[in-house]
Copies of this chain bind each other. A is one copy, B any other.
Amino acid sequence: MDIKKLVKPDIRSLRAYQAEEIPCRVKLDANESPYSAVSGQRSAIGFKKNLQALNRYPDPQAASLRKLMAKELKVKPQNILHGNGSDELIYNLITVFGGPVLYPVPTFSMYGIISQALGERKIGIPLDNEFDLDTDAFVKTIKRRSPKLIFLSSPNNPTGNCFSEDRILKIIRQSKGVVIVDEAYQPFSDRKSFIPLIQKYKNLVVLRTLSKIGLAGLRVGFMIAGADIINEVNKVRLPFNINSLSQKVAEAALQNKKQMRTDIRLIISERKRLFKEMGRMDGIRPYPSDANFIFFKAENGDRIYGDLLKKGVLIRNMKGAADSCLRVTVGTPAENEAFLKALEQIL
């Protein structure tokens, strides 16, 4: 029996997401925070009690967690839905609304990968020379192809910049489908969040995650939107999508945000320092960033990536998405120092 022949055509040509582990001394490739948001909170989490209750299913509504996040974001709990990472919410959104799915390129790869996995058409529109949205191309494509979903990651991964607010707004207003502003990196930016606009624009969804602010291991993401969208997406959400331990630990983190905020401030100041130091070097061009990483162009990206790795420093080679471009995550001051030193030596 040929299993391949049984598989849906879109899946046949799909490749499994490669998240291979590359051994290294300094890991600056995955836009993780260098600090765990709950490293000292064992007592707050109450593991003894939680381990004892693991025979029970998790709270399907994640009520306490949603309430805490709602307070943090100043919205109502009914405007928040929880995902096993925002990945899962992207999956759910595409399941509910279908395609075509529109997004700029380069951007977060999962929009395209999940669209293909679900057999939906996907359309990528190149960013302009300043890595901002090409509004004309978006408006034309909206008219011609009527995309059901538009994903805008702002700050954008991998370029690091926020898109212009007025361009995002124009796309939201022109779109007859749902527009998702993915604010995974917003905590590192001083731009305003789009969350307050969910009241005004019924087709607006904002995504948030705990993955970039010290809790990637938990898999907790959120979507914020009007009740109509929340209700529809909730229909395809698996009932027990966030396990009990992740719910508890995320709650503890949101109840003790001091450490998280200190960490974010340090990451922002280190990002500024990295940008300045990298700007002084010949042969590379760093771009300003509103996120916890820096995107940079290099004359020979492949060589730099490989030479850094030889020195134990792992960053992300953006080849394919953006040729001759690399992305380095902001680490601890010591990790950033190690990266800068290694980079200087190999340039």
Contact = CB atoms under 8 A, between A and B. Distances in A.
Contacts of A58: 216-217, 219
B215 A54 contact: yes
Contact of A56 (B45, B98, B177, B216): B216
Contact of A229 (B3, B34, B239): B3
B53 A238 contact: no
A218 interface: yes
A7 B1 CA distance: 36
A20 B63 CA distance: 11
Interface stretch (A88-96, A122-130, A270-278): A88-96
Contacts of A307: none
B57 A8 contact: no
A3 B39 CA distance: 42
A3 B37 contact: no
Contact of A39 (B16, B33, B34, B52): B52
24 contacts: A3-B226, A11-B96, A14-B235, A16-B237, A19-B60, A35-B55, A36-B53, A37-B54, A45-B51, A53-B217, A54-B218, A55-B216, A56-B216, A57-B211, A58-B219, A84-B84, A84-B238, A95-B117, A95-B118, A218-B244, A243-B246, A245-B245, A245-B249, A246-B246
A215 to B, nearest CB: 5
A347 interface: no
Contact of A51 (B14, B39, B229, B232): B39
Contact of A6 (B53, B178, B231, B235): B178
A41 interface: yes
Copies in the assembly, this chain: 2
Interface in A1-46: 1, 3-4, 6-8, 11, 14-17, 19, 21, 27, 30, 32-42, 45
Contacts of A34: 55
A6 B148 contact: yes
B51 A38 contact: yes
Interface string A65-101: 0000000000000000000110110010001111000
A203 interface: yes
Given A54-B215, A84-B84, A228-B4, A117 B236 contact: yes
Q: Which 6 A-B residue pairings sit nearest by Cβ, starting from the closest? A: A217-B244, A3-B228, A19-B60, A54-B217, A117-B236, A219-B243
Give the interface residue-count category, chain A.
Answer: 35 or more
A177 B34 CA distance: 46
Contacts of A97: 6-8
A334 to B, nearest CB: 15
A174 to B, nearest CB: 12
Given A7-B232, A55-B216, A84-B238, 4 more contacts: A1-B202, A37-B55, A54-B218, A58-B216
A15 to B, nearest CB: 7
A297 B218 CA distance: 42
A240 B226 contact: no
Given A38-B51, A42-B51, A238 B8 contact: no
